[in-house]
């Protein structure tokens, strides 16, 4: 089965969704699944160097009290899948283009699932700036990538337009929130769904053998 995950690296629900997906896949150990990661930009107009985290959240949600309520709920959901969110460590909301470029680069050379996990953990647990090239290079160093070539790639404009184009394509397909899961190019389900829900969709996709062109 081909599973396309549409996500943003600065989306906490995408991190939760990844963990729930892993639990769903563990419930179907005989199912062969190839995962491809596709970018979605929650903040397509974010400045290259990101912005102050507090200012961003208040602008987005309106008040510190509302931010605390929303992120309290996210924190509880994270605990259910063994993610210890440390939102207080995040000082800046980064531009996620470079992290998506890193995943794209890695996907052509390795299975990038563990790198995606490391990027999420760096941002949401350690509070690292994943819009910073040295931070991304440090993460990549643990995955056997050619660091000289990667650094040149990240410092260039290569594939930045592709990230924007994939984001636009997701919107054209009616995906307006992430994570979203596209099964065999056909069935799409959005949101950090519980593992049982994802399993039912996987079973249905396997039975029907969907093979549309959406993300093939």
Q: pLDDT tens digit string along 6-17?
A: 999 999 999 999
User: Which domains, from first to last, does the chain contain?
Assistant: 2-208 (3.40.30.10)
What is the rounded average pLDDT for all residues in the chain?
94
Q: What is the pLDDT of residues 176-214, one digit of tens each?
A: 999 999 998 888 999 999 999 999 999 999 887 654 444
Cis link prior to 179 (omega < 30° from 0)? yes
Contact predicate 197/19, CB 8 Å = no
Number of neighbouring beta carbons within 10 Å of residue 91: 12
Tell me the C-alpha distance between 36 and 31, whole Å.
Answer: 16
Closest C-alpha among 39, 45, 38, 75 to residue 60: 45
pTM of the model as a whole: 0.94
Q: List all residues 6 or more positions away from 80 whose beta carbon is below 8 Å from its beta carbon.
A: none
Mean pLDDT per 10-residue run, the chain (216 residues)?
97 98 97 96 96 93 93 97 98 98 97 97 98 98 95 98 97 95 92 97 83 47
């Amino acid at each position: 089965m081909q599973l396309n995950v549409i996500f943003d690296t600065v989306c906490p629900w995408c991190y939760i969704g990844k963990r729930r997906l892993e639990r769903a896949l563990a419930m179907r150990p005989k199912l062969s699944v190839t995962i491809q990661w596709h970018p979605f930009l929650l903040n397509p107009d974010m400045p290259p160097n990101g912005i102050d985290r507090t200012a961003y959240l208040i602008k987005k949600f309106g008040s510190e009290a509302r931010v605390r309520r929303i992120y309290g709920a996210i924190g509880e959901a994270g605990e259910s899948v063994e993610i210890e969110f440390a939102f207080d460590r995040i000082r800046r909301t980064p531009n996620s283009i470079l992290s998506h470029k890193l995943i794209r680069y890695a996907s052509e050379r390795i299975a990038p699932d563990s790198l995606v996990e490391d990027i999420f953990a760096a941002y949401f647990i350690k509070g690292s700036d994943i819009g910073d090239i040295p931070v991304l290079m440090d993460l990549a160093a643990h995955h056997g990538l050619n660091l000289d070539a990667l650094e040149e790639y990240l410092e260039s404009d290569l594939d930045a337009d592709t990230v924007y184009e994939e984001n636009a394509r997701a919107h054209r397909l009616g995906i307006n929130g992430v994570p979203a899961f596209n099964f065999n190019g056909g069935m799409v389900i959005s949101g950090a769904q519980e593992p049982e829900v994802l399993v039912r969709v996987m079973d249905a996709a396997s039975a029907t053998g969907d093979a549309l062109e959406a993300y093939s």
